[in-house]
Amino acid sequence: MNLVIHPTKRFPMPVFAFPFRRTSTALFSALMLAHAGGALADVSPLSVSGNKVLAGGQTASFAGNSLFWSNNGWGGEKFYNAGTVGWLKSDWKSKVVRVAMGVDEGGGYLQEAAANKARVKTVVDAAIANDMYVIIDWHTHHAENYRSQAITFFEEMARTYGKSNHVIYEVYNEPLNISWSDTIKPYAQAVINAIRAIDPDNLIIVGTPNWSQDVDVASRAPISGANIAYTLHFYAGTHGQFLRDKAQTALNNGIALFVTEWGSVGASGDGDVADAETWAWVDFMKAKGISHANWALNDKPEGASVLVQGASAQGGWSAGQLTRSGALAKQIISGWPGATVPAAGCTSVSTPPET
């Protein structure tokens, strides 16, 4: 469990009026502990009800950024720091950030566990300090081959962060074109069981077949258990109405979706911005109340990168340092209607706009 009790902006410290007699010490301590338990979580707990992700029991959706692969030497790892996270919160109004922890590729977790895990924790701690949700993503196309390693990793994450409402577990980024029922679902169930033995409630997101497009397939045989959502990825230069139709089928079948990656460019991560199709997706996500994270917070010279090469790794980017897709992503994220609902029990809960 992370015990960083950061300065809180929304929770005035309570005033205890009762006298400090010895007999009241236990009650006082209990009240302080109860309040500390709430104040640790400066965002509302996420849950799933039907095909909706709820925040503090209310329909809400959030927009933010996915970092690039965390792997040593790939270039995107330099953005895994508190400066970047704080800038995304203050300047982009991002409410969620995703750590894409590379697993089996070169320089990833299997080869360089300590370095990759340290990056993950740096970003998670920064997100918590900035009152943002944070997705811990097991970023691989072959997670079923690394099930025991995934369980060990997510058990540690659950022990460290399971009491923080900010944290979301994403147990499989993008399966390839493999069987949901025979391969992905059993893998996910095993990892979910391990997480749930430690953390009974935080949101868990599960990747779906075919690069997290076949949410309709998953919706016909969903995983049993509480607070589980399913990954939908789209790249507007490649994916249009046919994929929104699959998403609508999944929603109709009653599963909740979370777009943990989207791009305004092609599915390769490169190519031109597809403006009209991107806005069609934005309209769809708004209408359905689906949260999302843009791929990717990086300066690699390819279409999906939001930054031009050489931009600071610590935030503070000028408009001229955003790429065309970066400027569009910032416009969409900073204008997203989702509200952060104050944590239940500490102050009044406002209802976010119905989307």
Q: How far is Cα 116 from Cα 23, in angstroms, rounded to an integer? A: 49
Tell me whether residue 155 or residue 270 sits nearer to Mg ion (CB atom).
Answer: 155
Q: Among residues 77, 144, 170, 261, which one is catalytic?
A: 261
Tell me whether residue 204 or residue 285 sits nearer to Mg ion (CB atom).
Answer: 204
Given the rule CB under 5 A, which residues bind Mg ion?
162, 199, 201-202
Q: Where are the alpha helices (DSSP H) in 237-323?
A: 241-252, 275-288
Q: Residue 27's CB: how many other CB atoms inside 10 A?
A: 11
Residues 6 or more apart whose CB falls under 8 angstroms from that of 243 comprise 213, 232, 234
Q: How far is Cα 237 from Cα 153, in angstroms, rounded to an integer? A: 34
Min dist. Cβ of residue 126 to Mg ion (A): 19
What is the identity of the amino acid at 151? I
Which residues is 53 bridged to in the sheet?
A: 48
CB 70 within 8 A of CB 80: yes
Q: Where are the alpha helices (DSSP H) in the chain?
A: 25-40, 82-92, 113-129, 147-161, 185-196, 209-212, 215-219, 241-252, 275-288, 324-334
Intra-chain end-to-end CA distance of the chain, in Å: 34
Q: Among residues 174, 277, 302, 354, which one is catalytic?
A: 174
Which residues is 74 bridged to in the sheet?
A: none
Min dist. Cβ of residue 164 to Mg ion (A): 7
What is the number of H-type helices and E-type strands within the chain?
10, 11
Min dist. Cβ of residue 298 to Mg ion (A): 30
Tell me whether residue 155 or residue 201 sits nearer to Mg ion (CB atom).
Answer: 201
Tell me whether residue 47 or residue 183 sits nearer to Mg ion (CB atom).
Answer: 47
Min dist. Cβ of residue 202 to Mg ion (A): 4
Tell me whether residue 199 or residue 214 sits nearer to Mg ion (CB atom).
Answer: 199
Q: Could you confirm whether 155 is annotated as catalytic?
A: no
Tell me whether residue 162 or residue 326 sits nearer to Mg ion (CB atom).
Answer: 162
Q: Could you confirm whether 277 is annotated as catalytic?
A: no
Tell me whether residue 57 or residue 240 sits nearer to Mg ion (CB atom).
Answer: 57
SS3 sequence, 77-93?
Answer: HHHCCHHHHHHHHHHHC
Residues 6 or more apart whose CB falls under 8 angstroms from that of 334 comprise 92, 93
Min dist. Cβ of residue 312 to Mg ion (A): 34
Angle at 295 between CA 290 and CA 299, to 5 degrees: 155
* DSSP class of 97: E
Min dist. Cβ of residue 37 to Mg ion (A): 11
| Catalytic residue ranges | 174, 261
